[in-house]
Structure 1
């Protein structure tokens, strides 16, 4: 149980940090979410895909331990976008 909590915190902080830096560099607010949903999540599914099973069996092979870090990483990407947006609204021009 402790390992999943640590993994969730690490994924959250990692995606928040990467998203915050990408938002600063690229001047786009929601790019990290798009990057996560379009590139990272499908790559993670692709590398664990088993061709001998159908789609439902492949998705059923994932457990809650697989879903929780992915959900917290998505939350970190979203919160990085809202943090940048609030900083821009606050008048910080470098963001």
Structure 2
């Protein structure tokens, strides 16, 4: 994987999973459900695929970070009084 492709992939997966996590948290009114789903999906991938490279792991970690930040953002907004739906 090219260095530029890897940098773009890391940012793209962070933003993608932040958005998905934020929307799921907002609609389902759960704070950490997307994080649990992400760990389940990552565990499935680890056990079914045989080898990972550095680029794959870094993209997965950026997606995990996006999911965690999305959950933290919703939790912070709710604690400050914002209601989502």
**1:15 corresponding residue in structure 2:** 17
Between structure 1 and structure 2, the one with the greater Rg is 1
Gaps of 5+ in 2: none
Shift of 1:62: 1.5
Gaps of 5+ in 1: 50-60
1:46-87 Cα shifts (integer Å, max 9, x gaps): 5534xxxxxxxxxxx321111000000000000000000110
Misfit runs of 4+, over 4 Å? none
What TM-score, normalized to structure 1? 0.79
Give the aligned CA root-mean-square deviation in angstroms. 1.4
What TM-score, normalized to structure 2? 0.88
